[in-house]
């Protein structure tokens, strides 16, 4: 994948597991990316502060400087998009990471095809924020969407419910956007998978169900009565702007 200037996008991989660094780097290079490898957070912080990559993939659990602290320090000077690698039981770390400005997270063990798909999705969204402008060059072409109490700004990847911000991953954002574009219309799991996972990545039905569960939980943190995402058993999900 290339950046705006036509150069291959650079991906910073930060993990103390050298097997993961090597295997993921090989997979990314085969897809046309340039990789920068760091086995600890301190080395990554110095290098990425001086020269940010186009995107970072950070392990959370690392000695010397963990992924959360690395992201916190980088966010003081850079808005480089970041994907976290987490273990299955790290929901608290996931929440902290997203609140601090991470763009997405993937649970270990993970599919390299899934990671590559997430990287491509985030880079596409990052490019869309930077490039599309109106004729005056002032504002992104993509218009914010309002559905009842829901406000979505695709160009800035921002979501609000009743005026309160809700922090979503790229995947969650895409699923919600797909539902909210057509209020009352049922979207089956395959349609939601196509929206959230491009590049022919296969995920099973339970993955979409898990994302819907997380979406509801995040919205209920700002509104305990949130019910805008409805389940139609055997059919799929729909968004109700009355919810």
| CATH number, residue 110 | 3.40.50.2300
pLDDT confidence of residue 91: 63
Taking Cα atoms as reference points, which of 85, 170, 166 lies closest to residue 123?
A: 170
Confidence of residue 129 (pLDDT cuts 50, 70, 90): low
Residues 214, 183 within the same domain: yes
Over residues 163-192, the mean pLDDT reads 89
Residues 176, 209 within the same domain: yes
C-alpha distances in Å from residue 46, one per residue of 42, 52, 76, 144, 204: 7, 10, 13, 37, 39
Last residue of a domain, which of 70, 96, 130?
130
Residues 18, 110 within the same domain: yes
pLDDT confidence of residue 137: 45
Over residues 214-236, the mean pLDDT reads 93
Strands 145-147 and 104-107: unpaired
Confidence of residue 94 (pLDDT cuts 50, 70, 90): low
Over residues 36-42, the mean pLDDT reads 95
- Cα distance from N-terminal residue to C-terminal residue, the chain: 39
CA dihedral 182, 156, 131, 97 (to 10 degrees): -120
Residues 77, 176 within the same domain: no
Strands 34-38 and 229-232: unpaired
Per the structure, the complete domain to which residue 218 belongs is given by 145-239
Residues 98, 176 within the same domain: no
Number of H helices, E strands in the chain: 8, 11
Residue 100: φ, ψ to 5°: -85, -10
CA dihedral 102, 1, 121, 119 (to 10 degrees): -40
Query: Which of 45-54, 114-123, 190-199 shows the lowest per-residue confidence on average (mean pLDDT)?
Result: 190-199
Which has more pLDDT, 90 or 201?
A: 90
Greatest Cα-to-Cα distance within the chain, rounded to the nearest angstrom: 52
* Residue 138 pLDDT greater than 60, yes or no: no
Residues 150, 114 within the same domain: no
Strands 236-239 and 145-147: unpaired
Taking Cα atoms as reference points, which of 123, 128, 124 lies closest to residue 153?
A: 128
In the chain, % of residues over pLDDT 70: 82
Residues 126, 203 within the same domain: no
Which has more pLDDT, 122 or 130?
A: 122
Residues 32, 122 within the same domain: yes
Predicted TM-score (pTM) above 0.85: no
Residues 193, 88 within the same domain: no
Which has more pLDDT, 161 or 214?
A: 161
Residues 46, 85 within the same domain: yes
Strand partners, 64: none
d(CA 79, CA 163): 24
**Four-residue CA torsion sign, 99, 4, 51, 38:** positive
Total number of domains in the chain: 2
In the chain, % of residues over pLDDT 90: 47
* 5 found inside a domain: no
pLDDT confidence of residue 139: 46
pLDDT confidence of residue 209: 84
Over residues 18-43, the mean pLDDT reads 95
* 139 found inside a domain: no
Residue 47: φ, ψ to 5°: -70, -40
* 140 found inside a domain: no
Last residue of a domain, which of 83, 101, 130?
130
* 204 found inside a domain: yes
* Residue 3 pLDDT greater than 90, yes or no: no
Query: H helices within the chain, ranges in order?
Result: 18-30, 41-50, 67-74, 91-100, 112-130, 170-180, 189-196, 205-222
Residues 38, 112 within the same domain: yes
Last residue of a domain, which of 107, 130, 153?
130
Over residues 40-69, the mean pLDDT reads 92
What CATH number is attached to the domain comprising 157? 1.10.10.10
Residues 32, 113 within the same domain: yes
């Amino acid at each position: 994948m290339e950046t705006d200037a036509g150069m291959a996008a650079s991906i910073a991989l930060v993990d103390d597991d050298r097997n993961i660094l090597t295997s993921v780097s090989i997979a990314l290079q085969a897809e046309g990316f340039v990789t920068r490898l760091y086995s600890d957070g301190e080395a990554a912080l110095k290098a990425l502060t001086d020269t940010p990559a186009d995107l970072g993939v950070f392990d959370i659990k690392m000695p010397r400087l963990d992924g959360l602290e690395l992201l916190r320090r980088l966010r003081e000077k850079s808005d480089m998009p970041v994907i976290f690698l987490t273990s299955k039981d790290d929901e608290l770390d996931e929440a902290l990471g997203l609140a601090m400005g991470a763009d997405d997270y993937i649970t270990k063990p993970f599919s390299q095809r899934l990671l590559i798909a997430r990287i491509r999705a985030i880079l596409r969204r990052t490019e869309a924020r930077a490039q599309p402008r109106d004729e005056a060059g002032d504002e992104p072409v993509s218009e914010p969407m309002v559905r009842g109490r829901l406000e979505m700004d695709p160009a800035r990847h921002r979501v609000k419910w009743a005026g309160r911000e809700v922090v979503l991953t790229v995947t969650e954002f895409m699923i919600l956007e797909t539902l909210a574009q057509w209020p009352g219309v049922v979207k089956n799991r395959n349609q939601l998978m196509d929206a959230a996972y491009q590049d022919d990545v296969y995920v099973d039905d339970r993955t979409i169900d898990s994302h819907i569960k997380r979406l509801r939980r995040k919205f209920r943190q700002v509104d305990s009565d949130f019910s805008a995402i409805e389940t139609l058993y055997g059919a799929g999900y729909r968004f109700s702007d009355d919810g």
